[in-house]
Amino acid sequence: MVEHRLDLAEARRIAVRAQLLDAPRPTDLLAVIGQLTLLQIDPTAAVAPSADLIAWSRLGSSYRPEQLRQALEQSRMLIEHNAMVRPADDLVFLLPGMRIWPSRKREQEWLRQNDSFRRDVLERLGGSGPLLSRDIPDTSVVAWPSTGWTNNRNVTQMLEFLMMRGEVAIAGRRGRQRLWDLAGRVYPAGTPEVTPEEARRLRHERRLRSLGIVRENAVGSPSEPGEVGEAGEVATVEGIPGTWRVDPAAIGQPFSGRTALLSPFDRLVHDRSRLMELFGYEYVLEMYKPKAKRRWGYFALPVLHNDSLVGKVDAVADRKTGTLVVHAVHEDVPFKPETTEAVHHELRDLASWLQLTATGPGAPAPAP
């Protein structure tokens, strides 16, 4: 069995390169999402919608959000599934899991009790789709019980379940509202049939390639698990106990760094344990904290400089005033002058991309 011994700098660089955050910048949106495997969708848009912000971090201000919409709604090269934007080609390892969903008895029983409701939804979409959820009648027999916001939101819950089963799909959006249709009208035909075991292997390989290096026991989240199984090869990282899985093709590659401002939902920072072990970087998304208890800000953007995470930018886009308000640039370590200028360059680019003017205590001076 091959076991690689990596120093910390090499492990960091593998992670940064895998996420296309090294230099030079990539230039093609579809290629970016193909490598990352997903862009997370989140309703919070303190600076910009998360999927767009993640794309901007890679592509810079040449990226236009309409490129993402076109790929989702017209060319269908991308799909939206379970709050993630993914390449349509990845359906090959998503569909086998859809066919056996759900595994939990609560969802199974609710679907069984509401089979006539399920058929009503599919018939309505078949005849009139794509539709917003509010355009679909609630003919449920048993309401969905919950102590949260989904309580008695039966149409939305049924659509979510049918999406997870691969029977319906998100065909586009009207504003922030999802448009639903039969999956056969949205997903491309001809997706190869593979076994659940093969699908799991393919997904593990894709996940490792997108992250570069992953803990062998990584947990992840319900919507995107963290484990990579037997993908890649075993590695140890200098100074860090335990073992990792590494993409062997990523070892020993040249590295040229750059500076990037990241979404809190960026895949480089999503695994907080990995983040601390590899980068020694502490991060908490503080929008759920009372203002008085925040250290870095409501939606602080992690700052990557070369192969290190060095700070956070507390910024918010104020569309009413046409400004990107930079409340502070927090330096985890004192910035060298070139680091400060690189961060200021990214802030100017971010403001320009948003068509806003940077202002506030941490805003950079206008470019000469």
pTM exceeds 0.75, yes or no: yes
Average model confidence (pLDDT) across the chain = 95
Average pLDDT over residues 128-151: 89
Give residue 224's pLDDT: 87
Q: Give the three-class secondary structure for 368.
A: coil
Residue 151 above 80 pLDDT? no
Q: Which of 144-153, 204-213, 359-368 has the lowest mean pLDDT?
A: 144-153
Instruction: Return the pLDDT at 221.
Output: 80
Torsions phi, psi of 262, nearest 5? -110, 150
Percent of the chain predicted with pLDDT > 90: 92
Mean pLDDT of 319-338: 97
Q: Apex CA 262: angle with CA 8 and CA 351, to 5°?
A: 145
313 close to 331: Cβ distance less than 8 angstroms: no
| Residue 146 pLDDT | 76
- Mean pLDDT in residue range 90-110: 95
Chain centroid to CA 329: 24
**How would residue 152 be classed by pLDDT, with cut points 50, 70 and 90?**
confident
262-309: pLDDT as tens digits: 999 999 999 999 999 999 999 999 999 999 999 999 999 999 999 999
Label residue 350 left, alpha or beta by phi (over 0 means left) and psi (-120 to 50 means alpha): alpha
What is the pLDDT at residue 42?
87
The pair of structure tokens assigned to 75 is 């060319």
Report the C-alpha gap between 301 and 296 in whole angstroms: 9
Give the model's pLDDT for residue 43.
84
Contact present, 307 and 316 (Cβ < 8 Å) = no
DSSP string, 188-241: PS-PPP--HHHHHHHHHHHHHHHHSEEETT--B-SSSB---TT-SEEEEETTEE
Dist. CA 312–CA 40, nearest whole Å: 20
> Maximum CA pair distance of the chain?
67
CA dist., res. 304 & res. 260, Å (int): 5
Cα 247 to Cα 232: distance, rounded to the nearest angstrom: 5
Whether the CB-CB separation of 23 and 257 falls below 8 Å is answered with yes
Provide the pLDDT for residue 222. 74
**Are 224 and 189 spatial neighbours (Cβ–Cβ below 8 Å)?**
no
| Alpha-carbon span 360 to 323, nearest angstrom | 9
109-122 burial by CB neighbour count: b if 16+ within 10 A, else e?
Answer: ebbeebeebbebbb
